[in-house]
Chains A and B, each alone.
Chain A
């Protein structure tokens, strides 16, 4: 009897350890993954891989949807992957697998700008076209980058919005994601640059707070902003969790209309706060279009329509002609200004993403 128990116990242990280990390994979010037997080179249809930051992210799913749409238009095969946790290690494992599978192109939304360099360089050496999207990798690890929107435009448009909401005068604060987030930091930099212009001389940026994209921390940070700066007129939150948490705090405290809120957020998360007027309007690009543009950029590179050099142009399906522009030492493709969500259009968008 005792023997059986030992056996059962050790089995349970093995399974629990296995399931515990699975946390860090790359997940199978592959809707169209091929078996790996068919070596794509000769077989006609090209294979385009997309690696997002982590699984279970609705924003990422929309981007992958757009990517798949573009690839299907071009009769290619889309391979959609993402690690379970938003880590560079998980993405490196997936890149290694894709190199072995000999895909034609890898589009990646990077979890770290530098850590992926060895893996991505190896991929490029193997003849794979590497493009970063959403969160860029450094210029040595990619052919080009698809930028969801011009960071300068994002910074500028949010300052314009908050200035209009508060009447061009008063204290404002920024509620960001983590203090390490590449995207957010760049946008905040452009916001600060924009604020130096004479027309914003009466706007005072009192603090940049970091909610770490956690609900509870973002709420605490917003409450602290309101208490530390009782005269605060507006909050800019360029991150979904942050702007929704700030919207909730302002709603609960009855501060809608007294403290203005804008930024970047998912329409579904922000629908109630935009409808109630707590946030008069906010911005976001359309992730479907971002993925779609990335798909067409990848195809243009793979088919030799362009080389990803500054000044190159290519057809991006329904988005029309796009031009490759300079980005520091590298190049990028820009989608344009972010899309404005307000009371008028939030109703039709809240169900989309």
Chain B
């Protein structure tokens, strides 16, 4: 406190000089960013091939699906909900689309992507309906639907896998093609970020999502249709999971019944790492992307650091815990500064 008051006049006098620094200090996910940079430097020292263009591209490609899902999960978490069914929705959409393309080789990749999004959207709509209209707790509704969708996937596939020889080149090409040297998966993820950035920050509906999450009662009083918003976020989440199902199957050229089993936990971890509050109401796109990047780096770096497989899980957990603690500390500091500024 004392330090701050002493600094305040100085800061005012040199406002122009420090504006950039002040802007940085306002960035709540600073701690996470710093952590990622430190981690990257540490890994680079142990394995010089970590920060090569090829590896960074591989890492981005491998993280694209996770980060797309994390964007949707953020919206769900912001409304005080949670979605455990995304791994199952992803598997179902991936399996059904894989069956379609293996049956008719002429099926266009674009149409396959749209079909996948459609399947996911329907899955999400059902969950949205359960949560919004029937008032089922999101964790219960999505836990139940997770099992149901996973069951559908096994039923549809009859326990069989769809292998790469059954998939046409054009379909596998969705995930292996590139534009200007950048993999399509990365481009799709970037497109999703931009669309989400605009939707969350610059549309009325986008702002309403945050209003519903931070204070449902006042949101209702101001005339926001809470049910509509809830259905919307779960449907969006479903649509994104459906999209990711197609991308997943195309990337790995194989569809299994147990595809992405447990993947929802990685996605939720990325969101929490990125500073999204489980209690709802707060969460930033930049934070979520950083969170996904950290998980992506861990998945890529731990195998490259040549640590014993017995230690890998433990190290991963410790790093996540460290990142959360550091981020929370920095965030608290930044928020205190915000409050102080408001008092002045």
Contacts and interface: CB of A to CB of B under 8 A. Distances in A.
Interface of A: 5, 8-9, 12-13, 15-17, 19-20, 22-23, 55-58, 61, 179, 207, 209-210, 215-217, 219-221, 223-225, 227-228, 230, 244-245, 248, 252, 266, 268-269, 271-273, 275, 350
Given A13-B136, A210-B309, A20 B144 contact: yes
B303 A56 contact: no
Contact of A9 (B47, B135, B253, B256): B135
B332 interface: no
B147 interface: yes
Contacts of A17: 140, 144
Q: Which label, helix, strand, loop or mixed, suits the secondary structure of the A interface?
A: helix
B222 interface: no
22 contacts: A9-B135, A12-B130, A16-B136, A17-B140, A17-B144, A55-B154, A57-B159, A58-B161, A210-B309, A216-B252, A219-B62, A219-B252, A223-B58, A223-B303, A224-B300, A227-B52, A227-B55, A228-B304, A244-B253, A269-B163, A272-B164, A272-B165
B143 interface: yes
Given A13-B136, A16-B144, A269-B161, A215 B259 contact: yes
Interface in B58-111: 58, 62
A281 B233 CA distance: 48
Given A217-B299, A228-B47, A8 B306 contact: no
B9 to A, nearest CB: 52
A220 B257 contact: no
A20 B154 CA distance: 16
Interface string B131-152: 0001110001101100110000
B49 interface: yes
Interface in B148-185: 148, 154, 157, 159-161, 163-166, 176
Given A215-B252, A228-B47, A273-B164, A179 B159 contact: no
Interface string B38-55: 000000000101001011
A19 B253 CA distance: 31
A268 B253 CA distance: 12
B164 A61 contact: no
B127 to A, nearest CB: 11
Contact of B62 (A55, A220, A227): A220
The listed residue with most B CB atoms (<10 A of its CB), out of A15, A56, A58, A268, is A56
The listed residue with most B CB atoms (<10 A of its CB), out of A9, A221, A225, A227, is A227
B309 A269 contact: no
A252 B176 contact: yes
Nearest to A223: B58
A259 B310 CA distance: 27
A244 B164 contact: yes
A228 to B, nearest CB: 6
B252 A248 contact: yes
B341 to A, nearest CB: 43
B174 to A, nearest CB: 13
A224 B303 contact: yes
A109 to B, nearest CB: 15
Given A8-B134, A13-B140, A227-B49, A215 B306 contact: no
Given A215-B252, A215-B254, A252-B176, A20 B143 contact: yes
B164 A269 contact: yes
Given A9-B135, A220-B62, A272-B165, A58 B252 contact: no
Contacts of B176: 252
Given A8-B134, A19-B148, A215-B259, A248 B164 contact: yes
A55 B303 contact: no
Given A16-B136, A223-B303, A350-B165, 19 more contacts: A5-B135, A15-B144, A16-B140, A56-B157, A57-B159, A215-B259, A216-B62, A217-B299, A219-B62, A221-B303, A227-B52, A228-B304, A244-B163, A244-B253, A248-B253, A248-B254, A268-B166, A269-B163, A272-B253
Contact of A220 (B143, B256, B303): B303
A139 B282 CA distance: 57
B163 A245 contact: no
Contact of B136 (A9, A23, A223, A272): A9
A331 B181 CA distance: 58
B96 to A, nearest CB: 16
Contacts of A9: 134-136
A269 B256 CA distance: 11
Nearest to A249: B58
A214 to B, nearest CB: 9
B306 to A, nearest CB: 7
Contacts of B252: 215-216, 219, 245, 248
Contacts of B299: 216-217, 220
**For the complex of A and B, 6 pairs with smallest distance between CB atoms:** A16-B144, A224-B303, A271-B165, A56-B159, A179-B309, A272-B164
Contacts of A350: 163, 165
